[in-house]
Amino acid sequence: MPMLGIMASGMSGNLSVAFSTNYLVIAGGAAGGAGGVGGGGGGAGGFRSTVTATGGGGSLESALTLNTNQNYTATVGAGGAGVSSSNLGNNGSNSVFSTITSTGGGGGGNGVATGVVGNTGGSGGGSAGRTPAVGGSGTANQGFGGGAAFGAVGDGGGGGGGAGAVGGAVVINGKGGNGGAGVATSITGSSVTRGGGGGGATAGADDPGTGGSGGGGNGGKETGPIQGTAGTVNTGGGGGGGTGAAASNAGGSGIVILKYPDTRTITIGAGLTGTTAAPSGGFKVTSITAGTGNVSWA
Give pLDDT, residue 134.
86
Give pLDDT, residue 267.
98
Asked if 255 and 235 count as a contact pair (C-beta separation under 8 A), the reply is yes
From residue 31, alpha-carbon distances to 22, 54, 104, 139, 187 in Å are 29, 22, 11, 17, 27
Residue 165, domain member (yes or no)? yes
The strand pair at 100-102 and 15-26 is best described as: unpaired
**Model confidence pLDDT, tens digit, residues 228-256:** 999 999 999 999 999 989 999 999 999 99
What percentage of the chain has pLDDT greater than the value 70? Answer: 93
In the predicted structure, residue 138 carries a pLDDT above the cut 60: yes
- Listing DSSP states for 72-112 in one string gives EEEEPPPPPPP--TTBPPPPPPPEEETTEEEPPPPPPP-SS
Asked if 136 and 54 count as a contact pair (C-beta separation under 8 A), the reply is no
In the predicted structure, residue 152 carries a pLDDT above the cut 90: no
Residue 19, domain member (yes or no)? no
Give pLDDT, residue 13.
53
Residue 12, domain member (yes or no)? no
**Model confidence pLDDT, tens digit, residues 195-206:** 999 999 998 888
Give pLDDT, residue 55.
98
Residue 69, domain member (yes or no)? yes
Residue 17, domain member (yes or no)? no
Average of per-residue pLDDT across 13-24: 90
In the predicted structure, residue 146 carries a pLDDT above the cut 80: yes
> 187: buried, middle or exposed (CB in 10 Å: 19+, 13-18, 0-12)?
buried
Residue 171, domain member (yes or no)? yes
In the predicted structure, residue 6 carries a pLDDT above the cut 70: no
Q: Whole-angstrom Cα distance, residue 176 to residue 146?
A: 12
HSE value, Cβ hemisphere, 13 Å, CA-based, for 159: 34
What percentage of the chain has pLDDT greater than the value 90? Answer: 83
Strand partners, 96: 75, 101
- The boundaries of the domain holding residue 95 are 24-283
Least confident range from 44-58, 119-133, 142-156, 279-293: namely: 142-156
Asked if 133 and 152 count as a contact pair (C-beta separation under 8 A), the reply is no
Average of per-residue pLDDT across 208-217: 98
Confidence class for position 154, pLDDT limits 50, 70, 90: low
Residue 1, domain member (yes or no)? no
Give pLDDT, residue 17.
97
In the predicted structure, residue 173 carries a pLDDT above the cut 80: no
Q: In what helix (H) or strand (E) does residue 7 lie, and over which residues does it extend?
A: strand 6-8
Q: Whole-angstrom Cα distance, residue 126 to residue 116?
A: 9
Average of per-residue pLDDT across 140-152: 90
**Mean pLDDT, rounded, of the chain:** 92
In the predicted structure, residue 8 carries a pLDDT above the cut 60: no
In the predicted structure, residue 164 carries a pLDDT above the cut 60: yes
Give pLDDT, residue 10.
42
Average of per-residue pLDDT across 61-86: 97
Average of per-residue pLDDT across 73-80: 98
Number of domains in the chain: 1
| Residue 60 vs residue 170, higher pLDDT | 60
Residue count of the chain: 298
Helices (H), 38-180: none
Residue 152, domain member (yes or no)? yes
